[in-house]
Amino acid sequence: MIIDVLLEYAYIAIAALIAIVLHELAHGLVSYMLGDPTPKRQGRLSLNPLKHLDPIGTLCLVFFHVGWAKPVMVNPEYYKHRRLGMALVALAGPLMNFILAIVSTILMGLVYKISYANNLNVVIENIIYILFNFFQALAIINLGLGLFNLLPIPPLDGSKILGSFLKGNVYEQYMKYQRYGFLILTGILLLSMLAGGGMSFITRAVSWLFNLMWRLVCLMFGLV
């Protein structure tokens, strides 16, 4: 039914907003905690989605479960240990997404457990249905955003984490590829979709990881 389709896109859109905003907020907060006032000055320590959303990246996240936001500008000169600081700031975003994915999957299990109760009226059953599907979308979107951003391809977070371990000319040469990052990512995703029957390797990884998390949550709540 059309209502079910609209509900599905509503789940995904809201989940994408939450995933993106908290991902970028985590970057800004960690940089601020390390002594950098730049994110605060630019208004990036905010839950306002308009401060963080990139239109194309958000649409890609909604439809393909991989995407990006406006990058948080930071100044590593404020960090006591520059490379370590950059790695921690870069890691903060994906780590936030993985935490959200875990919490969402646990909430799925809790809602599913409640659905076993007797004498639930139609209104409660519908609320449980909506919550279960929303938490599922939230978990999947966060896994996709977290895994995608860990790819070591500039300018994604994974490249900054890897870059913190590179030294001298190696790091400089590596970061020169940042200008080609979007083309490289697009090529890799398209090739993986062609090889995977329409599913990218990120989608496959998200599916495998989500199924594993759901099985563990089912065991935790005695749902198997």
d(CA 200, CA 60): 13
Q: Which residue has the higher pLDDT, 121 or 182?
A: 121
- What is the per-residue pLDDT across 33-53, written as a single tens digit (0 to 9) for each? 999 999 999 989 998 888 887
pTM for the whole structure: 0.89
Sequence letter at residue 52: H
- Catalytic residue IDs: 24
> Can you read off the two tokens belonging to residue 4?
């079910």
Share of the chain above pLDDT 70, in %: 93
d(CA 199, CA 205): 10
**Taking a C-beta distance cutoff of 8 angstroms, is the pair 104, 139 a contact?**
yes
The arithmetic mean of pLDDT across residues 216-220, rounded, is 96
pLDDT at 66 (0 to 100): 64
CA neighbor of 64 nearest in space, from 201, 195, 182 = 201
Residue 144's contacts (CB-CB under 8 Å, 6 or more residues apart) are 61, 65, 66, 67, 202, 203, 206
Q: Where along the chain do its domains lie?
A: 2-220
> Can you read off the two tokens belonging to residue 39?
């994110």
**Taking a C-beta distance cutoff of 8 angstroms, is the pair 152, 87 a contact?**
no
Percent of residues in the chain assigned helix, strand, coil, to nearest 5:
75, 0, 25
**Taking a C-beta distance cutoff of 8 angstroms, is the pair 64, 48 a contact?**
no
pLDDT at 182 (0 to 100): 74
| pLDDT surpasses 80 at 69 | no
Q: Which residue has the higher pLDDT, 39 or 181?
A: 39
Torsion (CA) 222, 101, 138, 118 in degrees, nearest 10: 10
The arithmetic mean of pLDDT across residues 83-104, rounded, is 96
- For the chain, the C-alpha Rg in angstroms (whole number) is 19
pLDDT at 36 (0 to 100): 96
